[in-house]
Amino acid sequence: MELISKVKSFGGEQRVYRHASKSTGTDMDFAVFLPREALDGYACSSLIYLSGLTCTWENVMTKGFPQQHAAEHGMIFVAPDTSPRGEAVANDEAYDLGQGAGFYLNATQNPWKSNFQMESYIAEELPELLIDSLPLDEDAIGLTGHSMGGHGALTLAMKNPDLFQSVSAFAPIVNPMDCPWGQKAFKNYLGDDEATYAAYDACALVASEGWEKDILIDQGMADNFLEEQLKPWAFDAACRKAGIDLTLRLQGGYDHSYYFISTFLADHVAWHAARLD
């Protein structure tokens, strides 16, 4: 890993790294907050945060203020990018496809499949890199995310329960097979065989994979994407049917922005810390 920057923050260090990714075939940047305990060499629990459409690692690190909360719990906080990037990487003029919109899946269709392998990157390559390079407890890794990243957190956790020990989400896309964002992404990245879509749909995975622990979701009720794209009630119903312990907190007046995320991020960090201790 190449260290791009580091600054002192809440007794720890806020760092940005770059590395050549085998999964995406590109350089990938990610941010890490290391608490004082990690700098002293102690193995720490960690929380990986997956960002939403159009975002990079920078959004949550500068608008969500995770450093203070992670420092309070002696937790490493990791924020990867949302997709591969670069002039040679396929892209689209729309904000919800291509660079910035990787949907945390492994694309099978041209021109996307050569670089858009974000499932492998998040669930395999990045954790291995973190475990090998940082004082990270490999048995205490949590996963959370916002919107598209909430979709990624839920689906990747259910598919990799031995790797991710806890999962939560902010305003996640829970049923992408039944919303415009997801349908567009799946058709382009995965092709016309709709049978392949279920592997990346949280509602479908609740039935096929399940989850033996609990889940926390916060959803703003003033979110302008609530009715058409997010539909948290579909995930609530799927969890009830599967007997999964879901806490779905509907937050009156909050929208889809980082004002919403920054308000409740402390709760999520503490929630994960309690389960990863």
Looking at 73, 146, 256, 272, which residue is catalytic? 256
User: Among this protein's residues, is 19 annotated catalytic?
Assistant: no
Residue 13 has a CB neighbour count (10 Å cut-off) of 18
29 catalytic, yes or no?
A: no
Kindly report the backbone phi and psi dihedral angles of residue 32, in degrees, each rounded to the nearest multiple of 5, phi listed first: -140, 130
* CA Rg value for the chain: 17
Burial of 68 (0-12, 13-18, 19+ CB in 10 A): middle
Phi, psi for residue 115 in degrees, rounded to 5: -125, -30
Please name the residues in contact with 13: beta carbons below 8 A apart, sequence gap of 6 or more.
6, 7, 33, 34, 39
- Which residue among the candidates 151, 223, 268, 272 is catalytic per the annotation? 223
Residue 84 in tokens: 């591969």
Tokens of 55: 């975002």
Annotated active-site residue 223? The verdict is yes
How far is the C-alpha of 98 from the C-alpha of 54, rounded, in Å? Answer: 10
Q: State the catalytic residue, choosing from 9, 23, 45, 147.
A: 147
Q: Which of helix, strand or coil describes residue 79?
A: strand
- Residue 5 has what DSSP assignment? E
- Which helix H or strand E contains 242, and what residues bound it? helix 232-242
Tokens of 142: 């949590």
Residues assigned a catalytic role = 147, 223, 256
